[in-house]
């Protein structure tokens, strides 16, 4: 029997679900919903749910997750996008980010540069993402401006980025969609234009649109500049989305140095009720590793 059919026939009201128990064989019981809107991605629970994307999303919902994100959504078949959208709606899950603005550039800088063919292709991707967002009921889409143009001073590059993002916002604003700009760290992504939260904040202020905000990836920023909570505070009015990953290793919380309980408590206290994207790998392998990952998220979820 397909898991999706099994779930439909055995779904239990969330108020009656027992607490997580990781069994010796790596199996997991049904769970109470997480208080925070953590969003797993495909592949994170494949040892329990199998390879089918819909089965995996249903498994996430069974375990108490109320959101989902999918960087590769634009690359998926339309029929699968529609199935994912329906499943998320049926399971009352929020769609998190997917990546837009990907352009084959042969190493040339996309947004920071003066290459008109790449800038045109970027806007074409933004247009295409509107239909994708409608199929899966998404609001946010990740934009990475690309590599620096080392033949242009940073001020000219910044002006190019701002101008192109303004044009993209003209496409997105009528649909209530939001690009979230993701600064990437120097260690994993050397040579990229957008690296720090203050830089993203400056750009969002210049673009001045509800469709251009910041994706604060805590993993990247722990490496790039640290000072996580003060930087969240300073950039708060331009942050629309958070992603998670511990450092070192980019695995689940509790496996590295970042104090996620304090960070989650802080942003929740600021009023954030949005998605927290689980953009990381599993620290432990196999079924047992998937159970341990869920245990880790239980340990850092809000306690009251």
CATH number for the domain harbouring residue 217: 3.20.20.150
Let me know if residue 141 belongs to a domain. Answer: yes
Let me know if residue 20 belongs to a domain. Answer: no
Which pTM does this prediction carry? 0.90
- The answer to whether residues 192 and 146 touch, using CB atoms and an 8 Å cutoff, is yes
Rounded Cα–Cα distance for residues 108 and 119 (Å): 11
Rounded Cα–Cα distance for residues 122 and 119 (Å): 5
- The answer to whether residues 57 and 68 touch, using CB atoms and an 8 Å cutoff, is yes
Which uninterrupted H or E stretch holds 124?
helix 116-136
74-124 pLDDT, tens per residue?
999 999 999 999 999 999 999 999 999 999 999 999 999 999 999 999 999
Q: For residue 10, what are the contacts with CB-CB under 8 A and spacing of at least 6?
A: none
Question: How many domains does the structure of the chain reveal?
Answer: 1
Let me know if residue 11 belongs to a domain. Answer: no
Rounded Cα–Cα distance for residues 65 and 92 (Å): 10
DSSP string, 7-69: HHHH---GGGPPPP-B-TTS-B---PPPSSEEE--TTTTHHHH-S-HHHHHHHHHHTT--EE-
Let me know if residue 116 belongs to a domain. Answer: yes
Let me know if residue 3 belongs to a domain. Answer: no
Residues of the chain under the 70 pLDDT cut: 1-31
Let me know if residue 147 belongs to a domain. Answer: yes
* pLDDT for 18: 34
* pLDDT for 13: 31
Rounded Cα–Cα distance for residues 234 and 131 (Å): 34
SS3 track for 195-245 = CCHHHHHHHHHHHCCCCEEEEEEHHHHHHHCCCHHHHHHHHHHHEEEEEEC
The angle formed by the CA atoms of residues 165, 42 and 34, to the nearest 5 degrees, is: 90
Let me know if residue 120 belongs to a domain. Answer: yes
Give me the domain span that covers residue 71. 39-300
* pLDDT for 119: 97
* pLDDT for 304: 76
- The answer to whether residues 111 and 146 touch, using CB atoms and an 8 Å cutoff, is yes
Q: How many CB atoms lie within 10 A of CB 91?
A: 17
Let me know if residue 13 belongs to a domain. Answer: no
């Amino acid at each position: 029997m397909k898991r999706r059919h099994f779930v439909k026939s055995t779904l239990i009201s969330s108020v009656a679900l027992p607490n997580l128990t990781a069994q010796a064989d790596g199996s997991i019981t049904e769970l109470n919903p997480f208080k925070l809107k953590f969003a797993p991605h495909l592949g994170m629970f494949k040892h329990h749910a199998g390879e089918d994307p819909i089965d995996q999303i249903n498994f996430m919902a069974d375990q108490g997750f109320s959101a989902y994100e999918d960087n590769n959504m634009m690359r998926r078949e339309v029929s699968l996008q529609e199935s994912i959208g329906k499943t998320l709606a049926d399971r009352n899950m929020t769609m998190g980010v997917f990546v837009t603005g990907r352009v084959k550039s042969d190493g040339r800088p996309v947004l920071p540069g003066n290459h008109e063919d790449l800038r045109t292709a970027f806007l074409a991707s933004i247009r295409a993402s509107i239909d994708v967002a409608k199929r899966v009921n998404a609001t946010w889409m990740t934009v990475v401006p690309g590599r620096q143009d080392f033949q242009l001073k940073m001020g000219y590059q910044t002006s190019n980025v701002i101008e192109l993002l303004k044009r993209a916002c003209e496409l997105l604003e009528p649909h209530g969609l939001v690009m979230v700009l993701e600064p990437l760290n120097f260690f994993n992504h050397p040579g990229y234009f957008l690296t720090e939260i203050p830089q993203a904040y400056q750009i969002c202020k210049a673009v001045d649109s509800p469709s251009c905000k910041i994706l604060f990836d805590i993993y990247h920023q722990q490496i790039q500049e640290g000072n996580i909570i003060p930087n969240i505070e300073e950039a708060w009015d331009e942050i629309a989305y958070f992603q998670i990953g511990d450092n070192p290793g980019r695995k689940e919380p509790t496996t590295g140095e970042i104090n996620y309980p304090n960070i989650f408590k802080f942003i929740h206290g600021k009023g954030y009720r949005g998605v927290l994207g689980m953009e990381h790998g599993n620290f432990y392998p196999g079924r047992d590793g998937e159970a341990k990952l869920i245990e880790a998220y239980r340990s850092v979820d809000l306690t009251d």
